[in-house]
């Protein structure tokens, strides 16, 4: 099982940042919550801070952890975050968008992220 941290970066009038994988990445052009693999000796939180600095050029504050989800060989560990420093500059992804709750199902998600989307939307509804 590979641990992967991901960020649901909130802001922009209740919208969440999503990133589109580049055409040369595995699962090309699928949308995902940004993040990456947890390295040996690293906590999921440390991983997330490192990956977001590398991939997006931002410093985030982790607001809360969400329940992990397992898909195939990946354990996706999501965190709700806010940007504290920096402007988004894509280093690996093809694009990014800010999506409101009503727009979350309009993009072609990487399969592992779909349960995280649903968990987030359920949390907004209080279920």
Model pLDDT, residue 42 = 97
Q: To which residue do tokens 């607001």 refer?
A: 63
Q: In angstroms, rounded to a whole number, what is the distance separating the alpha carbons of residues 96 and 100? A: 13
Range of the domain at 6: 2-126
Q: What's the predicted TM-score (pTM) here?
A: 0.94
pLDDT of 82-99, one tens digit each? Answer: 999 999 999 999 999 999
Under a CB-based contact definition with an 8 Å cutoff, are residues 82 and 31 in contact? no
Q: In angstroms, rounded to a whole number, what is the distance separating the alpha carbons of residues 24 and 21? A: 8
* pLDDT band, residue 125 (cuts 50/70/90): confident
pLDDT of 35-81, one tens digit each? Answer: 999 999 999 999 999 999 999 999 999 999 999 999 999 999 999 99
DSSP annotation of 14 reads T
Per the structure, the count of domains in the chain is 1
- Which CATH number do you get for residue 51? 3.90.79.10
Helix (H, G, I), strand (E, B) or coil at 32: strand
Model pLDDT, residue 127 = 52
DSSP annotation of 7 reads E
DSSP annotation of 54 reads H
Classify strands 31-32 and 74-85 as parallel, antiparallel or unpaired.
unpaired
Sign of the alpha-carbon dihedral angle for 37, 39, 40, 43: negative
């Amino acid at each position: 099982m590979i641990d992967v941290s991901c960020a649901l970066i909130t802001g922009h009038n209740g919208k969440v940042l999503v990133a589109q994988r580049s055409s040369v990445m595995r699962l090309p052009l699928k949308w995902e919550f940004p993040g990456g693999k947890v390295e040996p000796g690293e906590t999921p939180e440390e991983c997330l801070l490192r990956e977001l600095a590398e991939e997006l050029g931002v410093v985030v504050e982790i607001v809360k952890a969400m329940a992990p989800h397992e898909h195939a060989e990946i354990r996706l560990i999501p965190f709700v975050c806010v940007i504290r420093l920096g402007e988004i500059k894509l280093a690996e992804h093809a694009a990014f968008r800010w999506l409101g709750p009503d727009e979350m199902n309009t993009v072609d998600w990487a399969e592992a992220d779909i349960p995280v989307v649903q968990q987030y939307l359920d949390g907004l509804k209080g279920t």
